[in-house]
Structure 1
Amino acid sequence: MRSLGFAEARSLPPLGAQPTPYHGPRCQITLAGGTTVLAVQDHRSPLVELRFRLPLGALGWQHPDAVEALIRLLAGSGGATSRRIEATGGNFRMTTDGQWFDVTGYTAPDLATVWLDRLAALTAPMRGALPAPGRPLRPHTPDAVMDTALRRHWLGAGRPVAAPDDLCAVHRSVLEHGGGWLVAVGAFDPERFTADAARALSDWPGASSTTVPVPRVLRDGRPATGILALRDDAADDVRLALSAPEPAGGTGAAARYLATAVICTQYGSRVPEHVLRAGLVPTLYAARDVCLGFPRAGIRATLHQQDPAEGTTAVRETLRAFQSSPVTAAELAPIRAFCAAQLLGAFDSPAAKADLLRDGLSAGRPADWAERLPDLLSQATAAEVTAACAALFLVDDMDLVVLGRPSSVTEVCDQWTARHT
């Protein structure tokens, strides 16, 4: 056998220039009913990715099981329109996470009006007697159970919304108050799509500020810090959730984006560095989202059943340390690079871009926020990030929700109360 020998290894080519993040040509309008429509042109896929989002409102926030029952009913009511969407390879799926009513799907550009017709039909009044919501078909995740408890607390535990008698009441509360956000990304003319959306949704009800009550947290400032104990005899571990409304204004600030990462979004962040490596808390992360009608900052952790109080103490003491240990430029540099690189993934596909735009608009951010964020990340200083950490994750001003077996929940709550007194 003849040897072919060895060739000298070639050096890797240099990295190319990173394109500036850009969603693409777009058109944005607000319909008479209050719905914001954003259409973005993207020819990388032959389909149109579509997203619609609507806040559930007071009844839905307190009774998410009833919204799930409504979705099951609506899923079977599409008739010929639904069959046409599915027959042509499209998709129209409704979901809820306890905060939002979401419609996610895709279709061919020339059938986008059919998809819009299916969406428009959701608000048509329901006639006749409908069944009571009943029990959910599947158990909720621990995070969903904890979030529902927190929403009820923040809405005002003394004034709970009565459980709906039938699904007509749920439909009226969730889908007949207008507003929301509709995002479309795909190979189409953005201006034509927004015009088609305006025609299809022209009969939608107008948004009414009196239909969805203003949460107590917005009327009276923030609620008094509370502890919510949720006991589950079958729990395998102890779940912890710390939450607080964000300070008003600045929800799109780069410093707040970086602060969340500094706290615990990657392994080398502050809290994981001190807690995960000690083996006290198996999982831990920080996040910012929307709860009721305003931005929320929060931390979630999973604790061992054997000694949950020790893990709780470690999380709290690490967060308290931010008051005396500011973020340094050296600490911030790798986290800034991580965040900038991670953000680019949202531009990888029309589907990811549609998700990003829906999430951003529903959180109160403009359509170009993600395009501008890389530059904003590079400009944020360590001092600004330190201030954002203190404003968002002031642990002694956060509400605590604990879910687990009764003895473990009692241990965590007693320990938390003792440290606050």
Structure 2
Amino acid sequence: MTSVDHRSAEEIGRTATGPRPVPELGAQKAAADLSHVDTVLSNGLRLLAVRKPTVPLVELRLRIPFGGTAPLHAATAEVLAETMLTGTARRDRIEIDTELALIGGELDTVVDPERLTISGNGLAAGLPTLLDVLADALTAASYVDDEVARESARLVERLAVSRTQPRVIAREALLRHVYGDHPATREVPQAADVEQVTPEAVRALHTASVLPRGSVLVIVGDIDPERIAADVERVLGGWSSDASAVVMPGLPEVTGGDLLLVPRAGAVQSQIRLIAQSLPRTDPRYAALQLANMTYGGYFSSRLVENIREDKGYTYSAHSGFEFTGTTATVGVDADTANEVTAAALLETRYELGRLVVVPPTAEEVESVRQYAVGSLLTATSSQAGLASQLAALTAAGLGVEWLAEHPERVAAVTVEEVAQAALDFFAPARFTGVVVGDAETLAPRLTALGGVIVGEPGK
């Protein structure tokens, strides 16, 4: 038997005259060149129907603004989302599941403080059935007492588990630190509040808030957009109201300041969460800011990841990215670390923010993140599901297919100087605030010694 010499990755990547050159990237192409219809139906519902016939399937996303300020709104909305598809005046739960199964389809409902989202998919030939079941739920969901009680009990159990998860605790602590008692902070309702929700309250919330005017329906797949527009107008014609869907109150602007150390006694790991005000996708400077963010912590080869993950091993994952809420946007930084390196990880996280300002991205860095930004957008929208979700997110800002098609050109046009200015304007350490969640007895001495960290009270 002959022995085989195996070459290492480094050996494979080199030639006799030096490193093997990386192939040139191909020319950029548009993220979307799609036949579509973008219109507002007679009931006030915006419909965005897009033809993408890669497979004989269809994806559906319905986003309904679902704000509310009542004390039990978050809990009632969560129960509504859990029970909306458990029965209507025409179909019980089994009939709904059976009809969807026959078209290889499904419908799911989730809610957050900003919106109620119904997502679905199925065979393109089964779209009439998918729309009919959706219309039935929108106009005649029954919220039978037994179903509400059963799903509420399950929800209480899930919430009890969820509220023990470090990431959930950190997320809620961050939101409360920057937004106080704003409705946006109630992403995870209290189990005690869910126990107070009645079927009557769920039915009343549906009547008052599950409304077409101001909502958006996105349909992507092997469809004829013009014909689908007429079909949706006909099927959803019975879903109507003179009122508009309820938009969540606008968020206050995030201002920089001290980080709050949120005590979590006995925790062996810590969660670092930073946040600053940013720019929405509609702003002309967004493309430059996007590239600045990617340079900082927006992808695996970013400065932050190279520093605290690859070089120092402080965390398994570190990331920075945008969050869009209504017409506003923030940029966040997150990392989970062991207690013994939390202070060091925070120091390096702040250091990289400052370095992005005083040592702005180089031409090489900008070109790298530029290619990644365009490539990741193309990848994210290559499937029907990905395109539907991306478009549904864009519609929240009043955008659509045109923005998606034109964005690669905007990214391609950004200069190194514009990226450097975006870094200076939006990534200065003083613009950030946030929280560190962990064992205060272990963490407080080093974190407070760094400065800019205050210790919160247990349980608050």
Native 8 Å contact 2:37 2:49 kept in 1? yes
Q: Deviations over 1:114-164 (max 9, x none)?
A: 322333344447678665956242533544443344445555438998957
Give the corresponding residue for 2:51: 41
Q: Map residues 86-125 of structure 1 onto 2, 5 A cutoff.
A: 86-96=101-111, 100-124=115-139
- Indicate yes or no: 2:53 matched with 1:29: no
Aligned-partner Cα distance in 2 for 1:74–1:174: 13
Q: Map residues 190-229 of structure 1 onto 2, 5 A cutoff.
A: 190-202=225-237, 203-205=239-241, 208=244, 211-215=246-250, 217=252, 221-222=253-254, 225=257, 227-229=259-261
Matched letter for residue 188 of structure 1: I
Matched letter for residue 134 of structure 2: L
Aligned-partner Cα distance in 2 for 1:284–1:299: 8
The TM-score, its normalising length taken from structure 1, stands at 0.81
- Indicate yes or no: 2:274 matched with 1:242: yes
Native 8 Å contact 1:33 1:207 kept in 2? no
Give the corresponding residue for 1:146: 170
Identity %: 24
- Indicate yes or no: 2:416 matched with 1:382: yes
- Indicate yes or no: 2:55 matched with 1:70: no
Aligned-partner Cα distance in 1 for 2:70–2:130: 25
Distance 1:387 1:61, change over 3 A: farther
Query: What's the RMSD between the two structures over aligned residues?
Result: 3.7
Q: Deviations over 1:59-118 (max 9, x none)?
A: 599975654433222232253344311222111122346654322221233432332233
Native 8 Å contact 1:261 1:335 kept in 2? yes
Aligned-partner Cα distance in 2 for 1:391–1:204: 45
Distance 1:201 1:403, change over 3 A: farther
Aligned-partner Cα distance in 1 for 2:450–2:411: 35
Q: Which runs of 5+ in 2 are unaligned?
A: 1-22, 455-460
Aligned-partner Cα distance in 1 for 2:411–2:119: 30
Q: Which runs of 5+ in 1 are unaligned?
A: 1-12
Aligned-partner Cα distance in 1 for 2:403–2:273: 28
Native 8 Å contact 2:353 2:427 kept in 1? yes
Report the 3-state secondary structure (helix = DSSP H, G, I; strand = E; otherwise coil) of the residue aligned with 1:368.
helix
Distance 1:234 1:82, change over 3 A: farther
Aligned-partner Cα distance in 2 for 1:83–1:385: 53
Aligned-partner Cα distance in 1 for 2:289–2:327: 19
Distance 1:74 1:380, change over 3 A: same
Give the corresponding residue for 1:399: 433
- Indicate yes or no: 2:197 matched with 1:166: yes
- Indicate yes or no: 2:329 matched with 1:298: no
Aligned residues: 404
The TM-score, its normalising length taken from structure 2, stands at 0.75
